[in-house]
Amino acid sequence: MTTTPGEPTTALPGRPPVADLATWQAARDELLVREKAHTREGDAIAAARRRLPMVEFDGTVEVVGADGPVPFLDLFRGREELVVYKHMWHDGAPHQGQCEGCTNAAWHLKDAVYLDARGIASAVLTTGRWDEVAPYVEFMGYTTPWYSVRDVPEPVGGEMGYLTCFLRDGDRTFLTYSTTSRGNEAFSGSFALLDMTPYGRGEAWEDKPEGWPEGQRSCWYWRTDADGNATWGPTSRPVPQWTRPGATPVETLVRDDRCH
């Protein structure tokens, strides 16, 4: 049952002001105008993205996956379009010491059935040695194929932490788009949902009304301990790892301070 106060009450510290439904709806409708403008601008940016030039490169360059070395062309699986995520890798680190931000991105791409239905191939590339990467992929339960691009030049290899798109025309391959940092948020619906909540992501950089919780460092909730408490301490793991069989508190942590 919904109750409607006769008069709006005084705002509580750190809380939105309380109002009747009509007042809320008017404010919501006003914001909706801006949201629709934001959506239309996003459409316009996507249209401009489709008009970017592309760069041809050698698609016969070999990468290493579950079946051994294969030409990069094989990642298309006969399709014209390919979306990849370039996953950072810490050589020799345990599973819980791999990059938290890349774990966030790759976990949200864990099941690419909708890309498959659209006829778009997907893969995760990383500079890790395959003998280290393979057990990590098995532990995480990823279904998107992974490949090692160690010592492979750009645009297939190179710097990691990027979302990158490719196009194939027969045996010719082209780089069409690449983005990094907050551009990678396209992978994660969790960010969009958090942005709709009253307290947002709970990060200090966010613009908040006076009296709101101050927020913590960026990415603070990407690692937790076994009890689900957000921490970057020595017994933490990237959050999705706690759903993996055999995941236990740990004592060895390699922290990626590039997250910001």
Strand ranges inside 58-171, DSSP E: 62-65, 68-71, 81-87, 120-126, 146-148, 162-169
**What pLDDT, on a 0 to 100 scale, did the predictor assign at position 8?**
47
The secondary structure of residue 96, as a DSSP letter, is G
Fold (CATH) for 52-182? Glutaredoxin (3.40.30)
Looking at residue 135, what is its pLDDT? 97
For residue 160, what pLDDT is reported?
A: 97
Is residue 75 within 8 Å of 121, Cβ to Cβ?
Answer: yes
Residues whose CB is less than 8 angstroms from the CB of residue 166 and which lie 6 or more positions away in sequence, other chains included: 76, 81, 82, 83, 84, 155, 173, 174, 175, 176
Q: Is the dihedral of CA 112, 83, 97, 216 positive or negative?
A: negative
pLDDT for the residue numbered 1 = 42
* pLDDT for position 218: 93
> What pLDDT is recorded for position 90?
95
List the beta strands (DSSP E) in the chain.
Answer: 55-57, 62-65, 68-71, 81-87, 120-126, 146-148, 162-169, 172-180, 223-224, 237-238
pLDDT in single tens digits along all 260 residues of the chain: 444 455 545 556 688 999 999 999 999 999 999 999 999 999 999 999 999 999 999 999 999 999 999 999 999 999 999 999 999 999 999 999 999 999 999 999 888 899 999 999 999 999 999 999 999 999 999 999 999 999 999 999 999 999 999 999 999 999 999 999 999 999 899 999 999 999 999 999 999 999 999 999 999 999 999 999 999 988 999 999 999 998 988 776 655 555 54
Beta bridge partners of 203: 216
Tokens of 38: 């934001």
Domain boundaries, the chain: 52-182
Per-residue confidence (pLDDT) for residue 170, from 0 to 100: 97
Model pLDDT, residue 3: 47
User: What are 125's strand-pairing partners?
Assistant: 86, 147
User: Which pLDDT belongs to residue 260?
Assistant: 44
